Structure formats: C-alpha cells, structure tokens
C-alpha cells in the first residue's frame, strides 16, 4: 500500500482520504495555509476493521480493538521515514469519509506527539477507535455500517494560540481562542475567549486578551474558506503570528424557526409540567414541547450562559456525569426528549444527544466538538452556565427545563407533585 502526499489530487476525494484530509487537500490546492502531510488511504483500513467488527459479537468491542491493533502493517513500512521528513514528533489524525458532517465530530481518536518510529502503532490506534464505545453508539444511531478510516500524518505544532471560527449567514464571524494548544478547547475543558467580527469589520467582545491582528487574521481566513470551499467552520492554530488551517467542515443546516405561542397558553407552568410527566412516548413529548417551552421560559427560574447551538427545546431535565462511563442519573435511563445537563461538553456524551431536546453545560465553550454534534442535530445548546446547583436539584427533583440556544437562556421548573398526582 502506498501512502499519498496531501498534495496528490486523489487526496481531494473524501472516499480516498476521508472528509478531514480531503478538505485540507482542497484548501492546500487553493493556496491556503495548510500543513504538509501524508495520507494512509481509507481503503487500507477496510480489512482490519472488518476483522475487528467480526469479533465484537463473541469477544466484545475491546476484543475487536485488540484484533485491529494486531493488524499487519508491513506494507506501510515507508511511513516512519515519511513521518520523520515531516518532523519529530508528528500528529496522527483520523479522517473518516463520514466526518463531513458534525454527527461524527470527535468520534475517532487522533494522537499528538508521536515519534516517527511509533507512527504505525498510532495508525492502528486510529483504526481501533472505530470500535470505541462512542463510535459504536454513533454508528448504531446512524445506520450501523462499518466505518472506514483514512489517517493523516502532519507535523506537530506548538501553537501560541488556537481555536475555532464560525461564519454566520450575515457574515459575522465568531472566533473562540485559547493561549497555547486548542485541544482542551475542542474537547470541552477550556471555555476560551470569544469575540465576534461583523461583516463591516466591527468587533464585539466582552474581553479579548489576545492581539486584535490575530482576531482579524482568523476571521479573514474563515471568510475565505466559506467563500471558496463553502464551509462555515474552521479550526486553526497560530505559531508566533503565523496562522495555520487545521480543519474546515461543511456548512450546517439552519435551525428550525422558533415556535411562538399565544400568551394565554403559557400562564401555568404546572400544567406544562403535568403534560410532560404524562407524555411517556417520544411522540407525546414532541407534541408537548412547544407548550412546555413557552410556559417554563415565561415563568420558570432562569439561568444564563453562552449561546452555543441555536434553536429551542424543552423536556425533563436529566443530569449526566462528566466521566467517560457517563450514564443518566436514575434507574430509568434517559427519558425520551430529555434536556441534558452536564459539567462540560465532553465528546463521549455525543450518543446521548440523538434523542435529546436540549443540552446545558456548566463549563466548556461553543467551540467544543460536542457542540458541533448538537448543531448537526439542530439541538439547542447553552454552555458556560457556571456550576449551578439549582440545575442539579431540578434534575434530581424530576423537574423540566426549557433551552433557548440563540440567546443563551435556560429556564427550569419543578412541578407541584401533589397537584400533578391529583390531576
């Protein structure tokens, strides 16, 4: 098997190089500031992943991963030398054809600080991540097909700054940045610093501790990517003032228009709470959501955070721990169309979003990969609400919540249990 330089025209095809590497290859061909790289084509992962998935029924996902890690990669013997030519260490990045949408953001593993002599082990590790719990659950939700994973090897940067930028339809660019490596920001641990540049060049920021020139350079790059590739989101890094494009993703679908209800219908949150409690099926909850949202937002206890994913939603509030084995609190699992509240927007929570009606987090940033998944699902999200114990108490008391992802507002209500049961 021959690896391909990122400049090879074949790398512009997502079926060959995966969506991430293909988009970077296209950007590189247009002269954008993309790092050089080598691609292990997606077709090379087909047999190891087929063998790994075949073992899952008998040996479990871990057994399948071990089989992938034992795969023969002697035909890629030239890759360590090719990696050394890029630098020491390098990064080894997953690039699936499926990653063209936010549904798969953060699902597969990439490795930083890989010594060239260990690059083949990292390649097998990227493949094996397709059998991780998060990836398997997302695959089951999206049709159950076996993924194929290309692998992109690039130089390891030591960024002075990094982050994301999103271009809105009106031309406003939202930039989120951190000092140093952007990985903690993207994984939901660091809230970052947020600023917006409008289409006329005006800057809106509560605080922006970094150079204004950096903000404008990132915004210019994001607009260039939008105009020439059609993507509205980029990940970027800056090394001593030199900007690098790390990733760009296709434009997401616009959120549905917010529902508006007559004021007469939103007078009693107790009625909405009772309705949500009695709505046991997903369909019942979908029908009850508009009333629940309007009444709880009008009369409930409000908490403010940072708008992260647009839209509105309402449902029973469920608290989820921020640990890799997270499961909703309570014996019943996650109710249909629940509003999830978690300490941070960590990637492993993604499978819980498919049947949720909203996402709230105490920390994190709109730049987190989990928020990208929420946007792809048109799921409203508010992050950075602070450690608000009232949200946890509401969840534990069986309360309901309304989420306004456009304005960063969350409202909660705990019904009068006697009134509910007497009805």
Q: pLDDT tens, 161-182? A: 999 999 999 999 999 999 999 9
**What average pLDDT does the segment 391-408 reach?**
91
Greater pLDDT, 265 or 222: 222
User: What is the rounded distance in angstroms from the CA atom of residue 247 to the CA atom of residue 24?
Assistant: 7
Spell out the domains of the chain, with CATH numbers in brackets: 4-154 (3.30.1490.20), 161-250 (3.30.470.20), 263-422 (3.50.30.10)
Q: How many residues does the chain have?
A: 423
Cα–Cα dist 298/209, whole Å? 36
pLDDT of residue 329: 41
Ranking 76-85, 139-148, 250-259, 308-317 by mean pLDDT, the lowest is 250-259
**∠247-234-307 over CA atoms, to 5°?**
135
Mean model confidence pLDDT for the chain: 86
The span from the first CA to the last CA of the chain, in angstroms, equals: 69
Q: Please give the helix or strand (H or E) that residue 165 lies within, else none.
A: strand 161-167
Token pair for residue 171?
Answer: 């031309």
Beta strands in 205-348 (DSSP E): 231-239, 242-250, 301-304, 306-309, 312-319, 338-342
The answer on pLDDT for 332 being more than 80 is no
Structure token pair of residue 243: 């900007």
**pLDDT at position 144:** 64
* pLDDT value for 264: 39
Q: pLDDT at position 422, please?
A: 34
* pLDDT score of 398: 86
Q: Please give the share of the chain, as a percent, with pLDDT higher than 90.
A: 60
pLDDT score of 365: 93
pTM for the whole thing?
Answer: 0.82
Model confidence band, residue 337 (pLDDT cutoffs 50, 70, 90): confident
| Count of CB atoms situated within 10 Å of the CB of 73 | 17
Using one digit for the tens of pLDDT, what is the confidence trace for 270-287?
656 565 655 555 555 556
> Which whole-number Å values give the CA distances from 305 to 96, 347, 359, in the listed order?
33, 20, 12
How do residues 99-143 score in pLDDT, each as one tens digit?
Answer: 766 677 777 889 999 999 999 999 999 999 998 877 887 777 766
**At residue 248, does pLDDT exceed 90?**
yes
**Higher per-residue confidence, 349 vs 228:** 228
What's the pLDDT tens digit per position in 45-71? 999 999 999 999 999 888 999 999 999
């Amino acid at each position: 098997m021959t690896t391909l330089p990122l400049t090879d025209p074949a790398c512009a095809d997502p079926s060959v190089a995966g969506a991430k590497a293909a988009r970077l290859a296209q950007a590189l061909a247009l002269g954008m500031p993309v790092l050089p790289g080598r691609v292990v084509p997606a077709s090379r992962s087909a047999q190891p992943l087929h063998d790994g998935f075949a073992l899952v029924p008998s040996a479990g996902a871990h057994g399948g991963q071990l089989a992938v890690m034992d795969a023969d990669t002697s035909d890629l013997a030239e890759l360590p030398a090719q990696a050394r030519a890029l630098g020491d260490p390098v990064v080894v990045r997953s690039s699936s054809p499926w990653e063209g949408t936010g549904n798969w953001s953060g699902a597969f593993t990439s490795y930083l600080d890989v010594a060239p002599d260990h690059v083949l082990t990292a390649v097998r590790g990227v493949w094996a991540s397709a059998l991780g719990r998060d990836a398997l659950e997302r695959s089951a939700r999206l049709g159950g097909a076996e993924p194929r994973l290309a692998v992109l090897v690039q130089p390891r940067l030591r960024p002075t700054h990094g982050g994301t930028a999103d271009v809105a339809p009106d031309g406003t660019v939202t930039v989120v940045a951190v000092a140093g490596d952007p990985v903690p920001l993207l994984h939901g641990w660091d809230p970052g610093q947020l600023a917006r540049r409008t289409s006329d060049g005006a800057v809106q920021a509560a605080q922006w501790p970094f150079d204004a020139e950096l903000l404008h350079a990132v915004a210019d790059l994001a607009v260039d990517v939008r105009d020439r590739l059609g993507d509205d989101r980029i990940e970027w890094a800056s090394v001593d003032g030199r900007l690098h494009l790390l990733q760009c993703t296709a434009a997401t679908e616009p959120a549905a228009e917010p529902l508006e209800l007559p004021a007469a219908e939103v007078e009693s949150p107790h009625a909405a709470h009772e309705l949500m409690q009695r709505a046991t099926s997903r369909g019942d909850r979908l029908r009850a959501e508009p009333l629940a949202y309007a009444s709880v937002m009008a009369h409930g206890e409000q908490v403010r955070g940072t708008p992260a994913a647009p839209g509105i939603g309402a449902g029973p509030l469920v608290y989820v721990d921020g640990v890799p084995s997270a499961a909703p609190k309570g014996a019943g699992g996650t109710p249909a169309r629940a509003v999830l509240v978690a300490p941070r927007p960590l990637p492993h929570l993604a499978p819980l979003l498919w049947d949720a009606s909203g996402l709230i987090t105490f920390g994190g940033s709109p730049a987190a990969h989990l928020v990208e998944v929420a946007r792809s699902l048109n799921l409203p999200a508010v992050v950075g609400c602070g450690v608000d114990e009232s949200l946890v108490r509401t969840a534990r008391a069986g309360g309901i919540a309304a989420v306004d992802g456009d304005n960063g507002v969350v409202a909660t209500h705990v019904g009068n249990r006697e009134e509910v049961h007497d009805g």
